[in-house]
Chains A and B, each alone.
Chain A
Amino acid sequence: MISWRAAVAVAFIAVQIGLIIRSQLIPEKFFSWGPHDRQVEYTITGSQGGQPLVDEEITVRYGMPAKGWNSHSEADIVWTVARRESRLPPQLRINVSVTHRANGGPWKTWRYQAD
């Protein structure tokens, strides 16, 4: 008979293995256990009612600096920004753009339109 502690511990490991496999099938790499496998340079800009947000507002809104580096995946940045906006009431959503490049590759831009 397996104890409840053992059941929780084994399930915890099984979930992680599942997340590693899943991360190879989707762009996001949060739980892939691949630290510093990608060097993504990015800039997040946003505007509300035509007024651009300052860097501090971006940082508070998305929990990450407005400009900087992400060591997992550009998709992680996009996921975070998209989730924040989609979870807000429509009147609080803003237009956002994320400009990024991975491993020194070409710059790309992802946009979220609140309107």
Chain B
Amino acid sequence: MNGTILPTPLLLMAKIMVLVLAMRGYAYLVMPRRGVSFIPILEQIGGDSDWRLGLSVLFFTGGTLVMFNFKVRLGCVLSGLALILATLINAGGFANSRFYPGCILLLTGLWDGGPWTMLALRAQVVVLYFGATVNKLLDVDWLNGRYFEFWIREKLQINWYSHAAEALPAGLLSTTMGITTIVLEFLILFTLLYRDWRPFAFAGACAFHIIVFVITGLDFGVFLYVSLCSFLVFAPPDAFDILSPGAGDGGYIKVSARRIVGKPVFWLMVIPILSWMNNDELQIMGKIITTMAGALLIYLVFSSRHATRAAGHTLNINQA
């Protein structure tokens, strides 16, 4: 128990998402004005700038409720709706890095402890990788290497990649990269569907996102962090209590005081500040460390499931 109605992993996920989004300016600085809306009637309501202000207030209100453990589900719904509406009111500024956390926060707010809402929350992660896999698989540029050839070599102009590509037969590296990406995303999708394989899904997702980040230096807004963070929806509800034996109803606060968990949490919170310094190398280092710290934290959560099983086994023996 953590004092709120949400299981601790979901509460922690919501807090990290709200915090990361706010720190990266999604609450106001990059909250869009209304442009071309997907729903025409939204263009009849209020002024373009009114929407930006209104959605920022909505996000801040929701985020505050989440951060202060007061009506957290309502907070998740408000902040999630703010991000989804921000997506719907401006087609020109469409960004998955805004829409995805919006969906996750909204579904977290709809969680009612029953199997269907948890299923929907987990399905959101599956849907993300399903869409990504299908899109790439049906795009010939991903299969013939043209996408990578243009993106990495011409647009991003990454020298070491160009040198490696030139050392190999024409197009081989880019074709391999394209097909490997599709295979990796499919494997993440496939392993997400079976409970015992989900740690592999998470490990695969970490590998995939971190490798893309190391190659390109891009974190795609907050997408890198929120996509990995969203794997907490697969964590068992009592994961953090198990990680902190003897803590009773300690929740993640007591867990975070433990050295092994506290360190990744600390770096998760501190390093993003370093990431925004005007130094490219520091930025990249900061983002890598942050991502790895987050990954380690979520790995600890996943690994606690084995502790759950072991504890259950011991309990059964004692009862017998």
Chain B residues in 8 Å Cβ range of A83: 36, 91
Q: How far is the CA of A95 from the CA of B28 in the complex (A)?
A: 33
Tell whether A35 pairs with B127 under 8 Å between CB atoms, given A63-B91, A63-B92. Answer: no
Take A29-B135, A36-B220 as given contacts and tell me if A104 and B96 are in contact as well, using a CB distance cutoff of 8 Å.
Answer: no
Q: Tell me whether B136 and A34 are in contact (CB under 8 A).
A: yes
Interface centre among B91, B110, B116, B130 (most CB of A within 10 A): B91
Specify which chain B residues have a CB less than 8 angstroms from the CB of A17 in the assembled complex.
Answer: 127, 130
B147 touches A103 (CB 8 A): yes
Nearest Cβ in chain B — how far from A17, in angstroms?
Answer: 6
Complex contact B146–A12 (CB within 8 A): no
| Nearest Cβ on chain B to A55's Cβ, whole angstroms | 14
Please give the number of chain A residues whose Cβ is less than 8 angstroms from any Cβ of chain B in the complex: 40
Interface majority SS (helix, strand, loop, mixed), chain B: helix
Stretch at the interface among A2-10, A46-54, A106-114: A2-10
CB–CB A16/B35 < 8 A:
no
Q: Determine whether the beta carbon of A20 is less than 8 Å from that of B116.
A: no
Question: Are B94 and A76 touching (Cβ within 8 A)?
Answer: yes
Interface size grouping (class) on chain B: 35 or more
Residues from chain B with a CB closer than 8 A to the CB of A100 are none
A39 touches B155 (CB 8 A): yes
A24: chain B residues within 8 A (beta carbon): 134-135, 138
Minimum CB–CB distance from B78 to chain A (whole Å) comes to 15
A-contacting residues, B114-158, CB 8 Å = 114, 116-117, 119-121, 123-124, 127-128, 130-132, 134-136, 138-139, 141-142, 146-147, 149-151, 154-155
Q: Is the CB of A64 within 8 A of B116?
A: no
Q: How far is the CB of B171 from chain A (nearest CB, A)?
A: 13
Enumerate chain B residues within 8 angstroms of A77, measured Cβ to Cβ: 92
Nearest-neighbour CB distance to chain B for A69, whole angstroms, equals 8
A residues in contact with B112, CB < 8 Å: 3, 5-6
Q: How far is the CA of A3 from the CA of B116 in the complex (A)?
A: 9
The reply to whether A37 and B40 form a contact with Cβ atoms under 8 Å apart is: no
CB-CB under 8 A from A62, the residues of chain B are 35-36, 92
Closest 3 CB pairs of A and B: A63-B35, A33-B131, A34-B135
11 examples of A-B residue contacts, CB within 8 angstroms: A6-B116, A8-B110, A9-B117, A12-B110, A20-B134, A30-B94, A33-B96, A38-B139, A62-B35, A63-B33, A87-B40
- In the complex, given contacts A23-B131, A23-B135, what are 20 additional A-B residue pairs having Cβ atoms less than 8 angstroms apart? A5-B110, A5-B111, A5-B112, A9-B117, A9-B120, A9-B121, A10-B119, A12-B110, A32-B134, A33-B130, A33-B135, A36-B151, A37-B135, A63-B93, A76-B91, A77-B92, A83-B36, A84-B35, A102-B141, A103-B146
Q: Chain A residues in contact with chain B, CB under 8 A?
A: 2-3, 5-6, 8-10, 12-13, 16-17, 20, 23-24, 29-30, 32-39, 62-64, 69, 72, 76-77, 79-80, 83-84, 87, 102-105
